[in-house]
Chains A and B, each alone.
Chain A
Amino acid sequence: MIRTEELLLNVGPQHPSTHGVFRIIVKLDGEIIKEATPVMGYLHRGTEKLAEDLNFTQIIPYTDRMDYVSAMTNNYVLVHAVEKMMGLEVPERAEFLRLIVMELQRVASHMVWWGTYLLDIGALSPFLYAFNDRERILQLFNELCGARLTYNYMRVGGVKWDAPEGWIAKVKEFVRSMHDKLAEYDDLASGNEILLSRIKGVGAYDAQTAIDYGLSGANLRSTGVKWDLRKNEPYSLYSRFEFDVPVGRNGDCYDRYLVRMEEMRQSLRILEQALEQFPEGGETMGKVPRVIRPPGGEIYVRIESPRGEIGCYIVSKGKAEPFRLKFRRPSFVNLQILPKLLVGESMTNLVTILGGIDIVLGEVDC
């Protein structure tokens, strides 16, 4: 008597393709997934709780550790929220520096994504190429603020360090060479027949579903919804620069891939303009009171991180510490759609789909 049995497979928390300590319990029939239950919290550090006992300057390093692949945007969302609450003016030079590091960070973050995604799909080399380029960005950051991953660079009212001599020229040089690199990577991977067959049509959803699930970033744009906070609700200096918002059509992993590749190019475009207009001199720190104490009230600000809409909700009671600090983490929200996408897919596509969502576990668990 032959009988089949469903197999309960525990993927993670230690698994090479969950990009950290993420766990999915999948019910398999052969290699087809019948049900997927994500389990998380392995990296939960209670940032929001810790923040309630810290003043705002002290919280900034904690934001570095949320989305550690894109720490600059996390820095920004917090200081931006506090600045907005207190009505602080940020000097133009500081704002330019912020914008430049954020866009560099976007390129670095997408580069990590590109490399690890192709590694998930089985291509070894792109991973090292991507990290090679990311390394150059990290070097630039290192020169700027002495850190490679957790920068703690931005401050309420400005930035901690001014650009060292020659730094802008180095960034310009990087932007120039990165254009060629991206073209090379497109040649290497984007049209690869195997890659196409692996990711085209996989993990597709339509715009309505994406909006339902609150997806943001490339996950949303891949369905054709033209929604980029840099354009739709401009912050920082983005309204001064020209750039396009790439959108996909089918909402599958391939469109997400293309959208992210194009986003890197657009980031380089923004960088080119920003570096051109970079003010010669000036302060990098605005006039900030000695103790940063936002007025009572609440605020929700959101910016476009490489992974989507990162938001910061602050409830202040007029103290130096936030009464409640909540981060809307794009990885956390984007991940919600995963169980829905996985049903009926094979084990192999689990990796493809999870990688395509682009999560950072530090941010999911916060």
Chain B
Amino acid sequence: MQKFWNDQVSWGLAGIYLLGAIAVLAVVIVFVTYAIYFERKVIGWMQYRRGPNRTGPLGLLQTVADVAKLLIKEDTIPAKADKALFILAPALAFVPSFLVLAIIPYGLNLQFADLNVGFLYYVALSGITTIAIVIGGWSSNNKYALLGGMRSAAQMISYEVPLVLSVVGIAMMTESLNLRDIVIHQEGYFWHWNFIPQIIGFAVFVVAAISELNRTPFDLPEAESELVAGYHVEYSGFRFAFFMLTEYIYVYAIACLATILFLGGWNPPIPQLDFIPGLLWFALKFAFIVFFLFWIRATLPRLRVDQLMGMAWKVLLPLAIANIFLTALGIEWWG
């Protein structure tokens, strides 16, 4: 894709872009379908259950059936909802989630847009989804949805700060925010990967990322035991499916990002293993992160709102800032 970057835009190129986007969409949708399946299976096994096993062989078509059901469901809009915003919110949530995928480098030459400010681009766009969630919660005209939306706004804004700051150390080491450069910088043995020199940053990043994803133990916006379902309580059918899709695309994006920023992207753990394609290494690391997220979900209880906020501002933020200083000192002393 990169080689078309500086060419004149023509119909042919537009077609290629479109095909590329459709390909990514297809990959993402297949991922989401089987991430949900995987999640249900893994959590099922962790809980002495079997997970889905009825629809299709081994239950592999369960998510497909679920999505089909969602798509043919009656589209209900609450009578007192703000119709325009209610309809807008799922789309507004989904679009940025898909846009952030453009900057993910899966391999040395497998990337759609090689931005100099790759990471900032991600953070900027994912913030828009927060707005969409608040809009969805507000426009539903439901108190639970409103509380969920407000929690979501507070939480995502709070956690974006440590999320960004945790990556600053890497930017300092790499001297770039370009995701591709960051991966290239980590070439070599696995102890050259960023998660070892940036262990504090990595910890902060993981916690903040789980929170950004609204997943357990930070799934307060949709805490079903308090707020029933949170901001999407009034949504059904394909609008609800859009919210779900968004959520899983962010899982995909964050897992990719963690792989790239801290786990060396497509680099093998030892250079001798480089006969295995980089894409496979990428996929392995990515799968580990995704599994980790599901694992956490099956293990931990949920935090309380005030504790969540306290953690963002009182624990993660100082840690992230300390990490920046330590990184600076490290660069100063050891180059």
Contacts and interface: CB of A to CB of B under 8 A. Distances in A.
A9 B220 CA distance: 17
B305 A346 contact: yes
Contacts of B228: 15-16
B223 A125 contact: no
Contacts of A132: 48
B48 A197 contact: no
B214 to A, nearest CB: 12
Contacts of A125: 43, 46-47, 298-299
A349 interface: yes
A121 B225 contact: yes
B316 to A, nearest CB: 15
Taking chain B's interface residues, is the majority helix, strand, or loop, or is none over half, making it mixed? helix
A198 B306 CA distance: 10
A347 B143 CA distance: 12
Most central of A119, A132, A192, A194 by chain B CB within 10 Å: A194
B188 to A, nearest CB: 36
A125 B296 CA distance: 11
B307 A351 contact: no
Nearest to B223: A122
Contacts of B303: 122, 194, 197-198
Nearest to B306: A346
Interface in A130-175: 132
A50 interface: no
B301 A121 contact: yes
Interface in A342-364: 346-351
Contacts of A194: 217, 300-303
A348 B304 contact: yes
Contacts of B307: 197-198
Contact of B297 (A7, A119, A124, A189): A124
Given A129-B48, A197-B307, A348-B305, A119 B300 contact: no
A74 interface: no
Nearest to B217: A194
A3 B33 CA distance: 45
Contacts of A237: none
Contacts of A189: 301
Contact of B225 (A7, A120, A192, A346): A120
Interface in B284-335: 297-307
Residue among B144, B300, B306, B307 facing the most chain A CB atoms (10 A cut-off)? B300
Contact of A17 (B46, B225, B298, B305): B225
A128 interface: yes
Interface in A101-134: 118-125, 128-129, 132
Contact of B301 (A9, A10, A15, A195): A195
A186 interface: no
Nearest to A347: B226
A348 B226 contact: yes
A123 B299 CA distance: 6
Contacts of B302: 121-123, 194, 198
Given A31-B147, A31-B305, A197-B307, A123 B223 contact: no
Interface string B237-261: 0000000000000000000000000
A10 B223 CA distance: 16
A195 B300 CA distance: 8
A120 B224 CA distance: 8
B219 interface: yes
Contact of A350 (B219, B226, B300): B226
A197 B228 CA distance: 22
Nearest to B304: A348
A122 B147 contact: no
Interface string A15-51: 1110000000000000100000000000000000000
A205 B182 CA distance: 55
B216 interface: yes
B225 A129 contact: no
Interface in A255-311: none
Interface in B210-224: 216-217, 219-220, 223-224
From A119, A124, A195, residue with most partner B Cβ within 10 Å: A124
A360 to B, nearest CB: 17
A123 B47 CA distance: 11
A344 to B, nearest CB: 13
Nearest to A120: B225
A287 B49 CA distance: 47
Contacts of B143: 7, 9-10
Interface in A320-345: none
Nearest to B299: A125
B169 to A, nearest CB: 26
Given A122-B219, A197-B307, A346-B304, A128 B226 contact: no
Contacts of B300: 122-123, 192, 194
Given A120-B225, A195-B301, 19 more contacts: A7-B143, A16-B224, A16-B225, A17-B226, A121-B225, A122-B300, A122-B302, A123-B302, A125-B46, A132-B48, A192-B300, A194-B301, A346-B304, A348-B223, A348-B226, A348-B304, A348-B305, A349-B304, A350-B226
24 contacts: A9-B143, A17-B226, A31-B147, A31-B305, A120-B225, A122-B301, A122-B303, A123-B299, A123-B301, A124-B216, A124-B297, A124-B298, A125-B46, A125-B47, A125-B299, A128-B47, A128-B49, A192-B301, A198-B302, A198-B303, A346-B305, A348-B226, A349-B304, A351-B225
Interface of B: 43, 46-49, 143-144, 147, 216-217, 219-220, 223-228, 297-307
Please list the 7 inter-chain residue pairs (A to B) with the smallest Cβ-Cβ separation, ordered nearest first: A122-B302, A123-B301, A128-B47, A121-B301, A17-B225, A122-B301, A120-B225
